Amino acid sequence: MAATRTASPVVIGVDSSTQSTKAAVVDVDTGAVRGLGRAPHTVTGADGARESDPEQWWSALREAVAAALAAADVPARAVTGIAVAGQQHGLVVLDAEGRPLRPALLWNDTRSAPQAAELTAALGGPDRWLARTGSVPVASMTATTWQWLRGHEPAVTAATAGVRLPHDFLTERLAGVAVTDPGDASGTCWYDTATAAYDPGILGLLGLDPALLPAVAPSGATRVGTLTAAAARALGLPSAVAVAAGTGDNMAAAVGLGLGGAGLLDHPVVSLGTSGTVFAATRTRPAAAGVAGFAAADGTYLPLGCTLNCSLAVDRFAGLLGLDREDTTPGDGVVVLPYLDGERTPDLPHATGLVTGLRHTTTPRAVLGAAYEGAAFTVLRALDDLLTACGLDPSDAAVRDRPLRLIGGGAQGRAWRETVRRLSGRSLVVPAATELVALGAAALAASAATGEDPVGLAAAWGTGEGETLPAVARDEETWNRIASVLDRATPSLLS
């Protein structure tokens, strides 16, 4: 009699990002991605508005999970856990039945810039916010968008029975419980990273009833329940599948890289996506203007700098110039500040793009190269701010000798890699794994199912390992030229 083959246990990690949902079916023992599914989202809005229908996220999750399971060719009974990592900061307001009252306001919606300034002043200035939440309000953080909604759509806020972040909304659909984690909660500006709890004084300032908020699980790996009967039917999975609390996308990427909080990492991370982010895991609670002092999914800290304009802005320049994104040369004296959506770091929510230094000899390829340089400069200067906030001198040779981990969609592009190498003067480690947010979510799901440490699981999977690109001499001339233009242009960009 032939023996029955036993399927290896797998988990599902979901990356619900700005533009799409990706679901990865991952082998618990090896970390191998057995199947990957994708489904797109629609983002609408103009003049600073950026919104999406949360119901579309749920539909996309179901579609992506179905595609991943089909690609993995594993039986449903092999799935033991699921976790969602979502785009940070988005504001989802629900009615009493758990249905969205309006489209979600996304992280790159900059309409709340006036509210950010008003809130900063109302609490007594940036230092007060840093001491209590680890971050200073900027346009798009959840507290500022809630305040914008209060002023512009009071009937909606009056009818609100639940306030959620994007990943919270999806986790609630899976497990039927309103829960978040310290990592994603720390991006709201109403969560105190020092006390690991919502700040009642700030909630009062916002007129936000704490009963509307989800409970905060101890970590993103916390098992918050199992699939509801409705979710199990929608996904074609057993109802016994464990559901983790999940986390924000940046926190999940850190888990996916196997980054713990033993101290400031030898490999700070630069992520090149729609936005550009820089982060590092540390046990030291950061509190510095210009750096978001987030919590990490594993209970440590994840100081982070974010720029709104990264790969999407550069791709827009490529489209305007009629070029392939890789058809580029260095800027040759041209400077592009690609602030097509305003900017967050530096805090210029009303800025527009700027191109200067054009000559008769300037080629389209050089203009595109300058767009890469402007975006990379903005991200790398945010990294310098982060290092300073963690007590390090960015100009110190020992600090500059530390490699950068380069992740995100842009990390796969030659032009992005070479521009970051040239402007940073650092060696780069480009992990072979490309779906690090989904892999981090999978590690959280595996932890919820097995009780093992999620960072340890991801480290054992080797997801942070990859190609190393040696350092090249730093292009000080280009760096200084961009810095000079930005410093001169900032007064006009603020207007």
Q: CA-CA distance, 464 to 432, in Å (whole number)? A: 7
For the cut 70, the answer to whether the pLDDT of residue 6 exceeds it is no
How much is the pLDDT for 495? 53
Number of domains in the chain: 1
> What is the C-alpha to C-alpha distance for residues 252 and 443, in angstroms, rounded to an integer?
9
pLDDT of residue 262: 53
According to the model, what pLDDT value does residue 265 have?
55
Give the residue among 268, 305, 266, 276 at the shortest CA–CA distance from 409: 276
pTM: 0.87
> How confident is the model over 338-359, as a mean pLDDT?
90
pLDDT digits (tens, 9 = 90+) for 257-282: 988 755 555 578 999 988 899 998 88
Q: Which two tokens stand for residue 172?
A: 């609630």
- Which residue type does 445 have? A
The per-residue pLDDT for 372 is 98
DSSP 227-294: --HHHHHHHT--TT-EEE--EEHHHHHHHHTT---SSS-SS-EEEESSSEEEE--BSS----TTSEEE
Residue 31 domain flag:
yes
Pairwise CA distance, residues 242 & 245, whole Å: 10
Q: What is the pLDDT of residues 404-421, one digit of tens each?
A: 999 988 999 999 999 999
Condensed to tens digits (0 to 9), the pLDDT of residues 154-193 reads 999 999 999 999 999 999 999 999 999 999 999 999 999 9
* pLDDT (0 to 100) of residue 3: 38
Give the whole-number percent of the chain exceeding pLDDT 70.
97
The answer to whether position 266 is within a domain reads no
pLDDT above 60: residue 4? no
Q: What is the mean pLDDT of the chain?
A: 92
Task: Please tell me whether residue 219 adopts helix, strand or coil conformation.
Answer: coil
Residue 130 vs residue 284, higher pLDDT: 130
Structural domain containing residue 75 = 10-249
In a domain, 344, yes or no: no
Question: Percentage of the chain surpassing pLDDT 90?
Answer: 78
Which tens digit of pLDDT belongs to each residue from 225-264? Answer: 999 999 999 999 999 999 999 999 999 999 999 887 555 5
The answer as to whether 482 is a domain residue is no
pLDDT tens digits, 58-82? 999 999 999 999 999 999 999 999 9
Is 98 within the bounds of a domain?
yes
Whether residue 52 is contained in a domain is answered as: yes
Tell me which residues are annotated as active site. Answer: 249
CATH number at residue 105: 3.30.420.40
**In the structure, what pLDDT confidence band is assigned to residue 288 with cuts at 50, 70 and 90?**
confident
Q: Does 29 fall in a domain?
A: yes
494 occurs within a structural domain: no
